[in-house]
Copies of this chain bind each other. A is one copy, B any other.
């Protein structure tokens, strides 16, 4: 049996937390998982249909007044079993494409000043992320969710915060190093 792609299981895992629509899933992924996962609409809807066809999730129409109707998917017992089996497999290696790092690695092709500005922009992004993470933490603290799901959510949130913090520290360090180098250069030219 060819191993199914992780996208299937990512969605199955979310349905195991609570029943969701495709729209919910997209939102959840963007808001909560974005620091280590992504799924687009173009994948979510076909994958939901497939999960439904395979009997791993059940689709039901939720009629609502005041808001558009929606298709809510609920994980089945077989779905949970498949999810657990997948969770036990060794994880695939991390896949990453960090264009900002790549560009800095090629920084020798630009001026030091341009690279300093690039690092500044990275820092801005990190500060915005930091604020978003802090909001999550507050929301979490307010909810006082003692469930297992709450615990694992807290763990990955903490990882996100630690990574964010260390990246910010790196920005400071890198800026300082480049500024020193820039000053050394000006002195030599004089």
Contacts and interface: CB of A to CB of B under 8 A. Distances in A.
Interface of A: 6, 10, 13, 16-17, 33, 35-38, 80, 83-84, 87-88, 90-92, 94-110, 114-115, 118, 121, 147-149, 151-153, 155-156, 158-159, 162-163, 165-167, 169-170, 173-174, 177-178, 181
A103 B87 contact: yes
SS class of chain A's interface: helix, strand, loop or mixed?
helix
A73 to B, nearest CB: 16
B163 A105 contact: no
A9 to B, nearest CB: 8
A5 to B, nearest CB: 11
A87 B106 contact: yes
A90 B121 contact: yes
Given A96-B95, A97-B38, A98-B94, A108 B166 contact: no
B97 A37 contact: yes
Contact of A16 (B100, B106, B178): B106
A100 B91 contact: yes
Contact of A147 (B83, B87, B97, B108): B108
B173 A104 contact: no
B101 A159 contact: yes
A13 B109 contact: yes
A98 B91 CA distance: 8
A6 B153 contact: no
A178 B155 CA distance: 9
A105 B153 contact: yes
A162 B156 contact: no
Given A37-B102, A95-B38, A96-B36, A170 B158 contact: yes
